[in-house]
Amino acid sequence: MEFERRDILLSAAAMATGLAAPALAAPPRKLGYAIVGLGSYGLGVIIPQLANCTHSRLAAVVSGDPVKAARTARRHGLSDHAIYSYADFDRLRDNPDIDIVYVCLPNSMHAEYTIRAARAGKHVMCEKPMATSVAECEAMIAACKQASRKLMIGYRCHFEPFNREAMRRARAGEAGKIRYVRSEHGFIQRSPDAWRLKRSLAGGGSLMDMGIYSLQAARYMTGEEPVAVTARESTDRRDPRFTEVEDMIDWTLEFPSGAIAGCQSMYSANQNHILLMGDRGRIELEPATRYDGIRMWVGEDGREHAVTPAPAPARNQFVGQLDHLAQCVVSGREPIVSGEEGLRDMRIVEAIYRSAREGRTIRLDGRV
């Protein structure tokens, strides 16, 4: 569970790089994405957004449902040669039209298909959480490095204008010395049959889903890496939704500066909120990380001034992240949310679960 000093320094550098967001060279052509998984996110969000990209395009689909795959391919002008099943996934290596594989599968499948994509010679965008364990994250990073392929995690909020503006203001000290961050994310998971409520597929409950937003916000708003975590779980095991995974989990992160973050994830209530408090003011977003409709305020002790960020170069957060990886592939730069960023989150996630299970604070900095 210990963080290496090198990882902490790399994380700070990655966040600084993300805020700077240097302009990258435009690819000579639009790079082709193969979308792996035609569920609600891959089919309903990512594929439509590829049509809005400047440097990226849809090149192939991978699905276990041949009818859905064929229908999607026809709708988007793809040939039958651009349709793959999970069984023949490795044939992607023979298709030069595919540059990047986007893994939009249940969490437990992220490691397998990221590793297989890298071995097929393709760069990888993997949805969050990166995997279900630290060991899987490390294997994914190693596979991509061995194949000399880029690995990026789908942390879309790093490309969302309101969140980026909140990060910028926090780093600029507009709220003063950061004392506290509150980050709460959840929604009502209504169906007991949802894959996210199956431990074998999700790896956990709300923490492995909405908790990633809470954890990420605590880290990117403070710009620091936590040194300790204390967590507590609250789950009604009589509820048929939560026979395998947790409902609500609450955790506190301690940072080197003395700042504290109070975070929550839940599957039994709707919440989407980030609040940073410093000794000179506040930065607040609510809703904070949804696909649209995000609002932001700053003030000395409340929502005194509404903030609208300047227009971003990308049309939206999804286009921003898709095109960013395409540009990184061409320029050779590392993505601002690389595999190492996903690994850092998973180390903290494992510590949160351990703290809740053992009822004690877990150090993340190697101190006893």
Q: How many whole angstroms separate alpha carbon 61 and alpha carbon 84?
A: 6
Residue 211: CB atoms within 10 A of its CB come to 28
- Exactly one of 84, 155, 213, 220 is catalytic; name it: 213
Tokens of residue 218, six digits: 């605590």
145 included as an active-site residue: no
Q: How many whole angstroms separate alpha carbon 172 and alpha carbon 161?
A: 16
Q: Kindly give, in sequence order, each residue whose CB lies less than 8 Å from that of residue 50, ignoring residues fewer than 6 positions away.
A: 33, 56, 57, 58, 322
What string of DSSP letters covers 168-237? HHHHTTTT-SEEEEEEEEE-----TT-GGG-HHHHSSSGGGTHHHHHHHHHHHHHTS--SEEEEEEE--T
| 39-to-22, 64, 150, 188, 261 alpha-carbon distances in Å | 33, 11, 24, 19, 33
Q: How many whole angstroms separate alpha carbon 232 and alpha carbon 134?
A: 21
155 included as an active-site residue: no
Tokens of residue 367, six digits: 């101190």
Burial, 237: exposed, middle or buried (Cβ in 10 Å; 0-12, 13-18, 19+)? exposed
- Exactly one of 30, 122, 128, 150 is catalytic; name it: 128
Q: What residues are annotated to the active site?
A: 128, 213
